[in-house]
Structure 1
Amino acid sequence: MSEAQIEVGKYVNTFGIKGEIKIFPYVEYFEDLKQFTIRGKEYKISKMRRNKNVYIVKLKEIDDINDIENLKGSMITINESDKPEPPEGEYYKEDLIGFDVITDEGKNLGQLEDIFNTGANDIYQVGKILLPGIEEVIKEINPKKRQIIVHIIKGLI
């Protein structure tokens, strides 16, 4: 049985003529990757740099644009075991989606549907409820119980 794959980005275009490609990242840890898979073939990263909202990636196996151009539009995946560990006390968005969100008074608000960034802080979406990702609101994240404990500030919902 093959290992589960995680989509980490999309190959959106070529860059230059030496086989570099532009990848739109789906995950915050993209720059920590050493290798990834495109359509079942593994590629090793020789260098990578950020350019606005994409990464320009040079693959060890590719020296000519013609060797990679036909894969444009493909999803970039990694083995689940290759996913880097987040820093202590931090979590990846995709790991928290589906967690039960419970108030510190015991009321179940529902499941976490999404987390998006507004620039100032993250916003946690639970159904139609939007919660700011600040210490005053997000009190505890418990991966073992798959729960997020929140404090509802007066006037928040």
Structure 2
Amino acid sequence: MKQFIEAGEFVTTHGVMGELKLYPWCDGPEFVAALPRLFFTPEGGRETKVEAVRAHKGMCLVKLKGVDSIDAARPYIRKVAYFSRADVKLPEGRYFVQDIVGCTVKDADTGVEYGVITAVEHPAAIDVYTVENSGGETFLFPAVPEFLDTLSPEQGVVTVRPIPGMFTNDGGNDDAD
């Protein structure tokens, strides 16, 4: 598992005092506000302290230590900000999206492998996993308790209990030739 995780991307400055607008790729402003520091490479690199964060129209307004003017803020525009996994404590049973992407999806009852999770989307109140099989076909899997058995990113496996047709492209007819 990667040590540094994407928090979001700085998209523009805000005001003249060095604040930056961060488009969050994580849970949102509250999550970002709890981060003590940010990094600017996937390997960590230079650490920058976070002085303040506030929500603003679905974005985060971030004040970084030492960035006190619009001119000092401009070099951060279009930069991805990362946080350290060590700075965050997730509740039991919760995982970072990047830990789920790449997991093999298996049937909890039969052990049949359906494919690998290639993306996680959040179109509504539930997550939807994109699962790609070995033939390159993709399927959308709603990650709801009725279908999702266990998440085990540490082992690289997600077990599921799908309804018939969920992992076929034949209109739901599992007996199709």
Alignment correspondent of 2:59: 54
Q: TM-score, normalised by structure 1?
A: 0.86
Matches within 5 A, 1:1-150: 5-28=4-27, 29-38=31-40, 40-82=45-87, 84-104=88-108, 105-127=110-132, 128-150=138-160
User: Is the contact between residue 33 and residue 52 of structure 2 (CA under 8 Å) also seen in structure 1?
Assistant: no
Aligned partner letter, 1:139 = D
Distance 1:44 1:90 in 2: 26
CA distance in 1, matches of 2:150, 2:51: 39
Q: Distance in 2 between matches of 1:37 and 1:95?
A: 19
Deviation larger for 95-104 or 140-149: 140-149
State the AA in 2 paired with 1:94: Q
Q: Secondary structure of 1:91's partner?
A: coil
Secondary structure class of the residue paired with 1:24: strand
Structure 2 counterpart SS, 1:68: helix
Taking structure 2 as the reference length, the TM-score comes to 0.77
Counterpart in 1 of 2:174? Answer: none
Identify the match of residue 154 of structure 1 among 161, 164, 170.
164
Mapped contact 2:50–2:63 kept (Cα < 8 A)? yes
Question: SS where residue 106 of structure 1 aligns?
Answer: coil
Which amino acid in structure 2 is aligned with residue 16 of structure 1? G
**What is the aligned-residue RMSD (CA, Å)?**
2.0
| Post-superposition offset of 1:8 | 2.1
Mark the runs of 5 or more structure 1 residues left unpaired by the alignment: none
Give the match's secondary structure for 1:111.
Answer: strand
2 CA distance for matches of 1:121 and 1:79?
A: 26
Secondary structure, counterpart of 2:89 in structure 1: coil
Alpha-carbon separation, structure 1, partners of 2:103 and 2:161: 16
- Report how many aligned residue pairs link the two structures: 154
Between the aligned partners of 2:55 and 2:122, the Cα distance in structure 1 is 19
